Amino acid sequence: MKIQKPVYYGDYLQLPKILNAQAPESAKYGDAAHDETLFIIIHQTYELWFKQILHELESVRTIMHKPFVPSTDLAVINARLERITSIQQILIDQIQVMETMTSLDFMDFRDYLVPASGFQSLQFRLVEARLGIKPEHRMDVEKQFFNSRLKPEDKKILEQAEQETSVLELLEIWLSRMPFSNFENFDFWGAYSKAVEAMLKSDYEIVSSNPSLNDKTRELELKNLEATKETFSTLLDAKKFETWKASGKVRLSQKAMLSAVFIHLYREYPALQMPYKILNSLVEVDEKFTTWRYRHAIMAQRILGTKIGTGGSSGHEYLKATTERNRAFIDLFNLATFLIPKSAIPRLPEVIKGQLDIVYDFVQS
């Protein structure tokens, strides 16, 4: 039997490397600014968590690359995504620690950091690319800063990652393969369309006969109802949907969107519970990064005011702009547009319900 060598805590974690990796830039010009150590540790911690997020995303991508994803693997995917959202909450909470640093504390060392910036966080850009944010989704100012701030070798790594299949693209393939909603001898989308038509007709009657609305408000609400009707029509019409996608209003294919809508409508059935959880977890990932970006923007304004960032951006104004734009799974957020009241959801034939159900109990005779 081979004798195992003892493993010591500090050696295993390589603590000498980690704990001696903080080198305040301000110390090169005199006394080190006290809060620069906090600033370094916060950002080093971010990078460690980004590394873990990338590790989880690579696992998800590997599983979803399979031509068939068994139900047991769906549970693994969701567990990895839930781990990511737990990490994201830590990223958000760390901002509270950063905000213990005042504007004057930051000014003690800020000028020594130029042109270092969050723009140069290759790992975070890789996270975005892995999720599905492509160059065409970014603002022009972002592209400009990437080209001028990233090191050449980092740009090559990012460009390669952006060419590889993202989680969003794998999600589209996976949803498009699903047999749900295409059933023999049952026109589900025909039944769904009739339910939508009845819902909108009811809404129209309510708005038209509501005595509390003045003419201008009633006209506006009726106009909004027509827009909603056209949105439903676009979902169900292949040509309209393709035009919608070409204009950038949607990223997923029509087939993928229809599968996602079906999953949401019938998520209580056992066969759809895990797919629904995965869709929900991806929304959570986007939501938490949106929250993190927004908190980061508010923190930047609190500490910098309207000053430009160390990387040359417009500071908090730029950060706020990315809050809305840099979301990979916006289509999943918009699925709520196509949901209808539970009472109006088409009843599935027993044979289809049997395919989506799992019997966990039985009646004793």
The alpha carbon dihedral of 314, 316, 321, 326 has a sign of: positive
**How many CB atoms sit inside 10 A of residue 41's CB?**
15
Which residue segment(s) compose the domain that 105 sits in? 9-179+266-325
pLDDT digits (tens, 9 = 90+) for 148-166: 678 889 999 999 999 999 9
What is the DSSP code string of 79-110? HHHHHHHHHHHHHHHHHHHHTTS-HHHHHTTG
In a domain, 4, yes or no: no
In a domain, 151, yes or no: yes
Instruction: Judge if 172 and 200 occupy the same domain.
Output: no
In a domain, 290, yes or no: yes
Instruction: Judge if 140 and 219 occupy the same domain.
Output: no
Least confident of 45-54, 135-144, 352-361: 135-144
* Residue 180: band (very low, low, confident or very high) from pLDDT cuts 50, 70, 90: confident
CATH number, domain at 129? 1.20.58.480
Phi-psi region of 312 (alpha: psi -120 to 50; beta: other; left: phi over 0): left
Q: Which residues are CB-contacts of 313 (< 8 A; sequence separation ≥ 6)?
A: 117, 119, 141, 145, 319
Instruction: Judge if 279 and 215 occupy the same domain.
Output: no
pLDDT digits (tens, 9 = 90+) for 205-244: 999 999 898 989 999 999 999 999 999 999 999 999 999 9
Q: What are phi and psi of 32, to 5 degrees?
A: -65, 135
Contact indicator for 37, 22 with CB cutoff of 8 Å: yes
Instruction: Judge if 154 and 207 occupy the same domain.
Output: no
Instruction: Judge if 47 and 110 occupy the same domain.
Output: yes
Q: Which residues are CB-contacts of 250 (< 8 A; sequence separation ≥ 6)?
A: 241, 244, 257, 331, 334
Residue 311, pLDDT score: 47
Residue 312, pLDDT score: 46
Q: Which of 338, 348, 340, 344 has the alpha carbon at shortest distance from 233?
A: 338
Residue 319, pLDDT score: 66
Instruction: Judge if 123 and 228 occupy the same domain.
Output: no
pLDDT digits (tens, 9 = 90+) for 12-23: 999 999 999 999
Query: How many separate domains does the chain show?
Result: 2
